[in-house]
Structure 1
């Protein structure tokens, strides 16, 4: 699926330096971080600096706002989900496969059990031919 002979690894295509929201931080803080950083998802890290999950802007809207929950009192940890990740040395092909298998659009990248970046569908799109990109998008959104 990836351009022939790319040999690239997750660390080669990820956005570096992913900033976590703390699991005890409010959803209001998460929403403001997303706004300020121009992102649609944040990894959730515990006090031990370990990945606990991921939260998206859609999660906040659908599971908090639409349910009438208090964004200042509801914590990111309460909505933590999607503990799917890959190692920084993982091939781009395997990252793509993982995203397709789990039908996820963003994938945390860890090195030494610490988050070092995120791979988005846009990052992978740069590595795919037009036909393979269409196939990838179809697989990701098939269950949406």
Structure 2
């Protein structure tokens, strides 16, 4: 059985809670990603911000992305996965929480991100199909 560490994208960057939604958008564009972990001053993960969050919760609401704090887009609870957890555990968490990207931590330190695409290229097809089906339910 594979571990998350074996398939993750290593070295994920964080947007800080005090940075703006526009800062997050620029970082996503520069890195070519659609989501970033949000980290507080204590370097702990507070949540994840997606490009969709910026569009739906900031731009579409008429808010100024240049002044809207990225930290205000935090979820109630940061959902993460341990680097040494199994890929099966990652799929279980993603299915239950209906999320497509998970920050990967080693202790409390961010070490990467794992996505549905990462799992699709490393896990047997039927299992990934179950994950995609769970994520597609409304």
Normalised to the residue count of structure 2, the TM-score between the two structures is: 0.95
Question: Aligned equivalents of 2:129 and 2:93: distance in 1?
Answer: 17
Matched, 1:9 2:3: yes
Partner of 2:61: 67
**Is 122-131 or 26-35 further displaced after alignment?**
122-131
- The secondary structure found in structure 2 opposite 1:11 is helix
Distance 1:112 1:139 in 2: 28
- Report what 1:76 is aligned to: 70
**Alpha-carbon deviation of 1:20?**
0.2
Contact 2:98 2:135 in 1 (8 A): yes
User: What are structure 1's unaligned runs of at least 5 residues?
Assistant: 1-6
1:1-144 to 2 correspondence within 5 Å?
Answer: 7-81=1-75, 83-143=78-138
Stretches of structure 2 that go unaligned for 5 or more consecutive residues are: none
Question: What is the aligned length?
Answer: 137
Q: What do the CA deviations read for 1:22-60 (whole angstroms, capped 9, x no partner)?
A: 000011010010011000000000111110110000000
Q: Do 2:94 and 2:131's aligned partners in 1 also have CA atoms closer than 8 Å?
A: no
Q: Residues 104-132 of structure 1: CA distance to partner in whole angstroms, max 9, x if unpaired?
A: 00001111201100000000001233333
In the superposition, the TM-score normalised over structure 1's length comes to 0.91
Give the CA deviation at 1:133. Answer: 2.6
Distance 1:95 1:55 in 2: 19
- After superposing on structure 2, the runs of 4+ consecutive aligned residues of structure 1 that deviate more than 4 Å are none
Tell me the distance in 1 between the aligned counterparts of 2:124 and 2:89: 16
Per mean C-alpha deviation after superposition, the further-off stretch among 74-83 and 94-103 is 74-83
| Alignment RMSD | 1.1
Q: CA deviation at 1:76?
A: 0.7
